[in-house]
Amino acid sequence: MARADLMAAAARHRAALAAAALLVFPLLMPFKAIAVNILVQGLFAVGFNLLYGYLGLLSFGHAALLGSGAYACGIVLVRFGWPWWAALAAGPLGGMAIAAAIGALAIRTRGIYFAMVTLALAQCLYFIAYQATGWTGGENGLRGVNIAAIRLAGLRIDLVDPLHRYYFVAVFVIAALFALSRILASPFGAVMEAVRENEARARACGYDIRTTRWLAFVLSGGFCGLAGALQAIHLGIVPVETLYYTTSGLVVMMTLLGGAGTFFGPFIGAGLFGMLEELVSLWTVHWQLVVGVVFVACVLFFPRGVWGTLLAGRGR
């Protein structure tokens, strides 16, 4: 009984819990840069999960949303010299704009075809970015996304300092998680769930399925775009590979690994994936073999993802 209460409280304050976890997280990691990578990938997976986990739409083109956020932030910073806060805001806006366009086309299709249309459109965007060297740097990537130090409310934040950089990124990721928590608890969140569970009934209840899907896609673009912008600032570059389809594949895998449709799952998937790659590549160049085996084992033995399986085990 007490445990059930505890679980309920945890679910209610999930964003706060995540915030607490993220604040101590860098102390557990071998170095800060990998911790920031996991933050960014985790946010990316959270954005993907909004569409896949809560609406059941499997997109294979989410690289386009991460990439457009990264490029939007990088380009206004490098080419136009915007201040850091405006560049950071350009990330989610860029992600949402591209999501609005891709979503408008893709929501006409369903299932595996939805995945393929999003993949195709994302690949077209990759090609455009690859060719537009004047804006994006092309295959060489966009360099010089460098923000040295910023002053905020009397605080001096030095983004070259690894710990400052981690907490800077973490603040935005935590804010995004709070926003997501609110969205999921809102009437719109309920509609999304209704559409996933039973589309016909949701339609009969008078909900506009297409608009719901499109809005979820755009929101997803906002989260992924913010992740892209944070990644650009963290690494100082935007590699064109950000837009490549392997990035889309990666986010699917991280989300499934952690547990799709759960609040923390995608984040945990991103963290596990990052640490697994990090630790295994320390002792063998054949890290891909271990990663492959872990994936296969996860699918066979933890089909709900690591976090999803833990939750199910607790619920029993």
Partner 1 sequence: MSGLTPDLLAMQAFTGLALGAVYVLLATGMSLIFGMLTVVNFAHGAFYMLGAYLGLAVLGLTGNFWLALLLAPLAVAALGMLAERTLIRRLYGRGIDYPLLLTFGLAYIIVELVRIVFGTQDLPFDTPDALTGAADIGIGFFPLYRLFVIGVTALVLLALWLFLERTPYGLIVRVGARDPEIVRILGIDIARVWLVVFGIGTGIAGLAGLLAAPLQGASPEMGNSILAEAFVVTVVGGMGSLLGAVAAGLLVGVVVSLTALVAPEMAQVAIFALMAVVLLLRPQGFFGRAGLMS
Partner 2 sequence: MLRPAPPSAQLTRRTLLASAAGAAALARVSILRADEPTIKVGFPVPLTGPYATEAQDQVRCAELAIAEFNEGGGLGGRRAELLARDDKLNPGEAATRTLELIEKDHADFIVGSLSASVQLAVNNVCKQRNVLYNSISQSDQIDALPDWSPVTFHEALTPHMTAGAVGRYAFSTFGKRVVFLSADYAYGAEMVAGFRAAGAPLGIEVLADLKHPLGTTDFSTLLPRIAALKPDVLCLSNFGRDQQIAVRQATDFGLKRTTRIVIPVMLYTARVAAGPHAYEGVVGGTSYYWGIESSVPSARAFNDRYRRAYGNKVPSDYGALGYAGVRAVLAGAKAAGSTETAKVAAALSGMRYDFYKGPETYRPCDHQAVQSLFIIGSKSKDMANAYDVFEVIATDPADEAALQSCAAEGHAS
Binding site for partner 2 (CB under 8 A): 30-34, 37, 130, 133, 138-141, 143-144, 146, 148, 160, 162, 231, 235-237, 239-242, 281-285, 287-288
Type of residue at 291: V
Nearer to partner 2, 65 or 237 (CB): 237
Q: Considering Cα of 195, then 200, then 205, then 209, what sign does the dihedral take? A: positive
Nearest approach in angstroms of CB 188 to partner 1 is 24
Nearest approach in angstroms of CB 70 to partner 1 is 20
User: CA 81, 169, 294 angle in degrees (round to 5)?
Assistant: 125
Nearest to 102 by CA among 262, 226, 236, 213: 213
Type of residue at 92: P
Residue labelled with tokens 């509609």: 191
Q: Which of residues 47-66 bind partner 1 (CB under 8 A)?
A: 58
Nearest approach in angstroms of CB 179 to partner 1 is 27
Nearest approach in angstroms of CB 26 to partner 2 is 11
Among residues 119, 145, 170, 177, the one that binds partner 1 under rule CB under 8 A: 119
Report how far residue 241's alpha carbon sits from residue 29's, in angstroms, rounded to the nearest whole number: 25
Select from partner 2, partner 1, none the partner in contact with residue 295, using the beta carbon and a kind-dependent cut-off of 5 to 8 Å: partner 1
Backbone region of residue 284 per phi and psi (left: phi > 0; alpha: psi in -120 to 50; beta: other values): beta
Nearest approach in angstroms of CB 152 to partner 1 is 42
- Helices assigned H by DSSP within 62-197: 63-78, 84-106, 111-131, 133-136, 162-185, 187-197
Residue 90: CB partners within 8 Å, gap ≥ 6?
Answer: 72, 73, 76, 82, 229
138 binds partner 1 (CB under 8 A): no
Nearest approach in angstroms of CB 64 to partner 2 is 16
Running DSSP on this structure, what letter comes out for residue 240? G
279 binds partner 1 (CB under 8 A): no
x/- contact string, 235-274, with partner 1 (CB under 8 A)? ----------x---x--xx--x---x--------------
- Reduced to 3 states (helix: H, G, I; strand: E, B; else coil), residue 254 is helix
Nearer to partner 1, 167 or 245 (CB): 245
CA distances from 18 to 147, 176, 226, 314 (A): 27, 11, 18, 19
Residues making contact with partner 1 (CB under 8 A): 58, 105, 108-113, 116-117, 119-121, 123-124, 126-127, 131, 245, 249, 252-253, 256, 260, 286, 288-289, 291-296, 298-300, 303
